Amino acid sequence: MSYIATLLPAYAEIFLLTMIGVILIADQFLPGQTRTLTYLLTQLTLLGCSLITVSSHVDGIAYLFNGMFVDDLMSDVLKLLTYLAVSMMLVYSRSYLIVRGLFTAEFLGLALLAMLGMMVMISASNFVVLYIGLEVQALSLYAMVALQRDSAVASESAMKYFVLGAMASGFLLYGMSMIYGGTGSLDVQTIAATIRNGEANTLLLVFGLAFLVAGLAFKLGVAPFHMWVPDVYHGAPTAMTLLIGSAPKLAAFAFVMRILVESLQPLLIHWSGMLMVLAVLSMAVGNITAIAQTNIKRMFAYSTIAHMGFLLVGVLSGSLDGYGGAMFYAVAYVLMTLGGFGMVMLLSREGFEADKIDDFKGLNQRSPWLAFMMLLLMFSMAGVPPTIGFYAKFSVLSAAVQTGHITLVVLAVLFSLIGAFYYLRIVKLMYFDAPESHEKLYLQPDSALLVSINGLAVLLLGILPNALMTVCAASVQQSLLLH
């Protein structure tokens, strides 16, 4: 009994893995094609994970499995946000997938399995566990992209995603092996202590660091390792694109924090320069290339590349304010992405994908409220006050200014101004162009309610960001000071 009690920090992962099996088996015996009961069981699973995570939280830090698994405030906050993001994705996606015959137990099971990988990444305190979590997530997402078997575009996207993802995994593994060679350990805390004590092989560490940063850049989708992002976002069904573009970014932030900040913080002078190059390239490539896009999913893909560049600005600053700002930015990005792709799915219908930018023409005449929600989301992505996107950009840029990265901040502001063009273009199309279709919009009540809450949250959290910012700052500070 005492051993079972020691597993308390991992109860959420154990419960989730159990429920994935239950859902897949139960679905075989449940009637109906809409999978309503399976869907409700999936949402209840997410609620159960949330309750377990909250109830199992302890002050300070708890380690498990010989120090390979950690439960701290940052992991609990990121897990709760991940549950929320996946739950919102399921609400937005349900009617979209039912119409296309893709709302299956396999989809729900793979979504939960991908989330399990994210949870493992978030709580990992060992390079091997980080890698296992990453692969569980990645393999689930590869399969989800390929679920639409009769779509050549989706199959091609899945193949590109798989091949480039495998290459990134190779980079990460090679980098980890060199870190192990330089320090004699794969444990996050042991690596940090070995480097601080001057007992590590610096040459091996720097080479390993280069491979690790390249692998992380692939997974984050930052330039020049971004080539998979537009094709996968465009080719995958929008529901799968929404999942790929939202919750995994929270896990990727945790991945960066565990590897670069907690274990390799003493090498800040080496990896901050690498991240600076990646950040500038990402903001340039993302914002400039997005201008030429006519497909909104590809536009969001290049927008993601640019946003990840801003997130890296917070991390490379090397300060607690920067790390807190980067976490806040990750949360803001996920919230905006959920709303953006949710709106695309709301406007889609059977036989029609609202994935062209021109599909938003005259939306204000068809549905003023939806047009207003999209306006809030686009303003937030562009960083227009008083939305959460403005405060997120402000927090990472102010941290960079405090650490002396003035040139980087000037470049970031310039690229942000360029980026505002393609976001505001959508606002112009919605309010000043005539609609291409006058067909009545049939909205599911749950999706319509959620997109309203989503849009208003983007505005409210921009006006009153202090509560969320305090949580992010406290999470990062506790994690770094107590480790």
In this structure, what is the dihedral angle of CA atoms 367, 340, 286, 171, given to the nearest 10 degrees?
-160
Burial classification of residue 10, based on how many CB atoms lie within 10 Å of its CB (0-12 exposed, 13-18 middle, 19 or more buried): buried
What does the pLDDT look like over 351-377, one tens digit per residue? 677 778 888 888 888 888 888 999 999
CA distance 338 to 360: 17
pLDDT of 79: 92
Q: Which stretches in the chain have pLDDT values below 50? A: 1, 483
pLDDT of 1: 44
Q: Is the peptide bond before 224 cis (omega within 30 degrees of 0)?
A: yes
pLDDT of 357: 83
Q: Where are the domains of the chain?
A: 2-482
CA distance 243 to 381: 18
Show Cβ contacts of residue 59 under 8 Å, excluding neighbours closer than 6 positions.
none
pLDDT of 398: 92
Query: How many separate helices (H) and strands (E) can be counted in the chain?
Result: 21, 2
pLDDT of 481: 63
Which string of DSSP letters, residue by residue, matches 185-245? --BHHHHHHHHHTT-S-HHHHHHHHHHHHHHHHHHHT-TTS-THHHHHHHHS-HHHHHHHH
| pTM summary value | 0.92
Per-residue tokens: 70:
């950690």
